[in-house]
Structure 1
C-alpha cells in the first residue's frame, strides 16, 4: 500500500485548520524528492513479545505512516 502524499508547495498551510481537510490539497505526483521539507502524519503503537516463553518480554514500537505533506522542495 502506498501512503497518500499532498502538495502544499504553492499554498499557505494553516496547521490548525488544514490538517482536518487534507482532501482539499492536490495530490503529490511521483516520488517525494530527497531533501524535501515534509510534514508527516503518523500513529505509533507499542506491543510486547516473548523471545522465549519463560523469558522477559521485549517492548517494540511500530510507527504507522498515514500521510505526507510536501511543503517545499530543493532547487
Structure 2
C-alpha cells in the first residue's frame, strides 16, 4: 500500500479550494506571489526560490518542495 497523502496530483484540487475557501486560498496565492514571484526587490527570484525550498525541506511539505524545485530551474 502506498501513501497518497501528498501527491503532485493533489494540485488538481486548487480550483475546489478557490471555490470553497476563496479568501484563504487567494491570501496564500497572494503571499506566494509577493514573496517569491515579484520582479522587484534586492533578492533575485532564484535566490528566493532556494530559500523557500530550504523552508519546504525543513517542514517536509511535499507540495512546497515540488513547486519550489520547479521554481529554481
What is the TM-score with the length of structure 1 in the denominator? 0.21
Structure with bigger RCO (C-alpha 8 Å, 6+ apart):
1
Q: Greater strand percent: which structure?
A: 1
- State which structure, 1 or 2, has the greater radius of gyration over its C-alpha atoms: 1
